[in-house]
Structure 1
Amino acid sequence: MDKIVILTGAGLSAESGLGTFRDEGGLWAQHRIEDVATPEGYARDPALVHRFYTARRIQASEARPNAAHDALARLQRAFGGEVVLITQNVDGLHEKAGSEAIHMHGTLAGALCAACGHRWTAPLDMTPDTACPACHGTTARPDVVWFGEMPYFMEEIADHLADCTLFAAIGTSGQVYPAAGFVQEARQAGAQTIELNLEPTDLSRLFHSRRIGPATRVVPEWVASLLG
């Protein structure tokens, strides 16, 4: 049975109004990554980190899936084989479109207790005073993977890459590991590989084929070609 594994990155959600951390003028441009997306930054100034992620959580809650998200949901429903979505995005737009996705970088909708490891649905506005429902400590943090931390579900992802017949990377810069290494893992397993992106990346040469352009155009066209 054919199995498609799709990795999605921030470029997929850009046309839903959610900027990447490389965009000028967006939320990320107002902060240093070291201050808001590392364990060290959280330890230094948890209030700043919580304000930043509250702003992102509110932004994501108001965002709507675009045509690319909708096309991937249609592919998951209608393809004759298996379609596994792995996302670096924490915005929840795959689920809003009706897809199931593996969130390797966590989700803005989740809260994690840094002390006891309990997970729960994050309130829209989290602060350093937000208490863990399990241990009642004020050690709540966003349930997202920061720079320097190990992404979630890596063993499960490796298993999917090892037996896929087609691997696609959509809207991802190819600059952040381990996700940047997925194309090589899939190729070594014998899969065909395709990149769909707004512009070529440092990893473009590793893909068998590519489609260049806005996600809302190239992803629906690619899905239509797969579904015939």
Structure 2
Amino acid sequence: TLVGNMLIILAIRSDPKLQNPMYFFLSTLSFADICYTTVIVPRMLVNFLSETKTISYAECLTQMYFFLVFGNIDSYLLAAMAIDRYVAICNPFHYVTVMNHRRCILLLVFSVAFSCLHSLLHVLLVNRLMFCASNVIQHFFCDVNPVLKLACSSTFVNEVVAMTEGMASVMAPCICIVISYLRIFIAVLNIPSAAGKCKAFSTCSSHLTVVTLFYGSISYVYFHPLSRYAVK
């Protein structure tokens, strides 16, 4: 993961031909993926190799916070990339002015700021709970649901926030992606040549694959009540 994403970042930074919005978001996504993985995997590997598999409460909340931050940043960057593809295919003559550097920076700042606030809300809600029974997390990192399963006090507020604000924060970029690709699909169908259609679709195929895997995984793991949650 580290080598692959570092190579992507270095390739984009070193090639003047790749200094455009699509590759700007791709390099930022690679950096976020490095951080996202670093939050979880090193501690997981230590636990695999160590007999004592412990983590302090503060470290657990810190891991949870940054896991949520970088996960949400990934989500919003995928939405930004979908908007970029929509403008490039549906409005190519205004692409340079619409997707200018300032607007790309604003999209990035919004993604980071909103993700930090979203994560802080959920971590603060977890921190207000009481834990008085088992302290064994049935998971390989401090994810929200496994930690909530250990709480002695009511998790009703946490569940309501997760199913409202949490779902909205995930579905907003997802809806943005769906609308962008619907517009792209309609525009591509109007391209007269088969070669033009294939070229347009080829620029979106890799992004669509990542989006499908990302949101498919999130939907399967998180979009059901806490009472049905179990680690298998």
Q: Does TM, scored on the shorter chain, surpass 0.5?
A: no
TM-score (norm. length: structure 1): 0.27
Larger Rg: 2
TM-score (norm. length: structure 2): 0.27
- The structure carrying a bigger helix percent of its residues is 2
- The structure carrying a bigger strand percent of its residues is 1
